[in-house]
């Protein structure tokens, strides 16, 4: 029996499995695309030869003057000028470049060179300390959130109504076996919701690490501004994969909570709410996201403490859901301090970030200028 790829394993391992799966898919697609391009090039080459002068045609004739209609050698393009080939840089030439990663970050999306070619071994692998492009969120979390956003925001009692254990188990096995699972309107929203809860419940370590449990819970009864300031600092302490996944989940739960109340549609029709407020969602997800070491059963105060902690967990997660945007926003002062420190330790990363910001600004300016031009022309 193969090891599970998604459920019941460390979050970092889930991310690694998803990355391997993605690279395998891209390698297969790339191989197929290369085969089609080679076939098209061969066909085009034959057509050009046949259209040329009789002198050129002689190069295709055999010893007896007959036309040699044999398959071309796989190396027939070796002597063709590189400038006449279809563009692109081979994987080998990329990996053979120097270690100046600052010039390759945008092209490689801060990936390890060996990840671009599955045939290569792990030599020359290099760990990058910062990856602002690759979002470390498990595929199962992404797919579940996208499905519920598309089909379940108006579903009453989402995450509370029961599901089919058999169908949920089948979906779980498909993700665990590494299948590329696509969730569409044929899947029950309640099954997908149960699968999402199950993923976080079965994590060996909770999404918010146990080491930070006490610090998070201690903010439950703080004054609002002090609480948000404290929670923001605690969010900074999360490992990258935990931080990215928590942000994705909170953003999703916030959207679910926005559809809790009944509303009126554009055609004055009544749209039922899902009844799942931020408090209700915090009650369901809190125990799975914030977990502490279990108290000794012989402790007479254990039960009372569990009740108190449960109430605190709900309040903390509710605040996280309602204020996720502000909590994950880095202030200019903190950003400046981080960049200054990174400049001393990771100058290549700073170079990339600054160039990326400049390119983004230039693109936005060009877009605005073209939009203004179209407006004036009208």
Does pLDDT of 91 surpass 70?
no
How do the residues of the chain divide into helix, strand and coil, expressed in percent and rounded to 5? Answer: 60, 0, 40
Percent of the chain with pLDDT over 70: 72
Comparing 29-33, 233-237, 275-279, the range with the smallest average pLDDT is: 29-33
Cβ(167)–Cβ(188) below 8 Å: yes
Using DSSP's 3-state secondary structure scheme, residue 61 falls into: strand
For residue 98, with 0-12 CB atoms within 10 Å meaning exposed, 13-18 middle and 19 or more buried, which class applies? exposed
| 129 in any annotated domain | no
Which band of pLDDT confidence, cut at 50, 70 and 90, is reported for residue 62?
low
Residues in Cβ contact with 233 at an 8 Å cutoff, skipping those fewer than 6 apart: none
Q: Tokens representing 185?
A: 């309107």
Spacing of C-alpha 296 from chain mean position: 39
Which band of pLDDT confidence, cut at 50, 70 and 90, is reported for residue 38?
confident
Higher pLDDT, 349 or 168: 168
Confidence (pLDDT) at 351: 83
Compute the mean pLDDT over every residue in the chain, rounded to the nearest whole number.
78
Does pLDDT of 333 surpass 50?
yes
Does pLDDT of 57 surpass 70?
no
Confidence (pLDDT) at 168: 97
**What whole-number distance in Å separates Cα of residue 277 and Cα of residue 284?**
11
Structure letter (DSSP) for residue 114: G
Does pLDDT of 295 surpass 90?
no
Number of domains present in the structure of the chain: 1
Which band of pLDDT confidence, cut at 50, 70 and 90, is reported for residue 8?
very high
Cβ(231)–Cβ(318) below 8 Å: no
Higher pLDDT, 277 or 309: 277
| 368 in any annotated domain | no
| 257 in any annotated domain | yes
Higher pLDDT, 3 or 64: 3
| 109 in any annotated domain | no
**What whole-number distance in Å separates Cα of residue 351 and Cα of residue 345?**
12
Which band of pLDDT confidence, cut at 50, 70 and 90, is reported for residue 299?
low
| 71 in any annotated domain | no
Residues in Cβ contact with 283 at an 8 Å cutoff, skipping those fewer than 6 apart: 314
Tens of pLDDT along 204-227?
Answer: 999 999 999 999 999 999 999 999
Number of H helices, E strands in the chain: 15, 2
Does pLDDT of 118 surpass 70?
no
**What whole-number distance in Å separates Cα of residue 200 and Cα of residue 119?**
34
Q: How many CA atoms lie within 13 A of 220 on its CB side?
A: 16
Which uninterrupted H or E stretch holds 264? strand 263-264
Does pLDDT of 147 surpass 60?
yes
Confidence (pLDDT) at 30: 74
Tens of pLDDT along 173-186?
Answer: 999 999 999 999 99
**What whole-number distance in Å separates Cα of residue 125 and Cα of residue 193?**
38
| 352 in any annotated domain | no
| 339 in any annotated domain | no
Mean pLDDT of the region 347-375 = 75
Comparing 92-106, 204-218, 277-291, 355-369, the range with the smallest average pLDDT is: 92-106
CATH number of the domain to which 170 belongs: 1.10.555.10
Does pLDDT of 240 surpass 50?
yes
Does pLDDT of 370 surpass 90?
no
Using DSSP's 3-state secondary structure scheme, residue 270 falls into: strand
Tens of pLDDT along 248-261?
Answer: 999 999 999 999 99
Spacing of C-alpha 184 from chain mean position: 19
Q: Tokens representing 47?
A: 């057509």
| 80 in any annotated domain | no
How many residues make up the chain in this entry?
378
Would you say the pTM of this structure is higher than 0.85?
no
Confidence (pLDDT) at 133: 55
For residue 27, with 0-12 CB atoms within 10 Å meaning exposed, 13-18 middle and 19 or more buried, which class applies? middle
Does pLDDT of 378 surpass 80?
no
238: domain range? 139-332
Spacing of C-alpha 37 from chain mean position: 30
């Amino acid at each position: 029996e193969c090891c599970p790829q998604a459920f019941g394993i460390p979050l970092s391992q889930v991310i690694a499995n998803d990355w391997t799966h993605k690279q395998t898919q891209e390698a297969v697609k790339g191989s197929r695309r290369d085969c089609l391009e080679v076939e098209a090039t061969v066909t085009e080459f034959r057509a050009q030869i046949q259209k040329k002068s009789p002198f050129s045609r002689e190069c295709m004739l055999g010893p007896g003057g007959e036309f040699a209609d044999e398959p071309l050698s796989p190396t027939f393009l070796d002597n063709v000028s590189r400038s006449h080939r279809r563009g692109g840089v081979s994987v080998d030439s990329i990996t053979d470049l120097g270690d100046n990663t600052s010039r390759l970050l945008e092209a490689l999306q801060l990936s390890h060179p060996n990840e671009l070619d599955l045939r290569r071994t792990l030599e020359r692998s290099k760990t990058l300390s910062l990856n602002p492009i690759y979002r470390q969120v498990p595929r199962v979390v992404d797919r579940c959130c996208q499905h519920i956003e598309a089909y379940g925001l108006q579903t009453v009692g989402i995450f509370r109504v029961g599901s089919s254990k058999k169908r949920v188990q089948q979906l779980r096995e498909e993700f665990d076996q590494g299948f590329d699972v696509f969730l569409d309107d044929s899947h029950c929203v309640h099954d997908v919701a149960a699968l999402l809860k199950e993923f976080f419940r079965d994590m060996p370590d909770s999404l918010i690490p146990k080491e930070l449990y006490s610090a998070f819970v201690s903010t439950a009864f703080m004054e609002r501004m002090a609480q948000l300031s404290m929670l923001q600092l605690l969010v900074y302490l999360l490992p990258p994969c935990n931080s990215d996944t928590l942000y994705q989940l909170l953003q999703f739960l916030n959207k679910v909570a926005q559809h809790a109340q009944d509303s009126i549609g554009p055609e004055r029709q009544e749209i039922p709410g899902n009844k799942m407020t931020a408090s209700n969602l915090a009650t369901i997800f809190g125990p799975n996201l914030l977990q502490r070491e279990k108290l000794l059963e012989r402790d007479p105060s254990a039960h009372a403490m569990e009740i108190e902690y449960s109430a605190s967990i709900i309040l903390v997660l509710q605040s996280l859901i309602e204020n996720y945007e502000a909590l994950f926003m880095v202030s200019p002062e903190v950003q400046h301090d981080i960049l200054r420190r990174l400049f001393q330790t990771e100058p290549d990363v700073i170079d990339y970030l600054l160039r990326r910001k400049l390119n983004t600004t230039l693109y936005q300016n060009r877009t605005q200028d073209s939009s203004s031009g179209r407006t004036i022309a009208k």
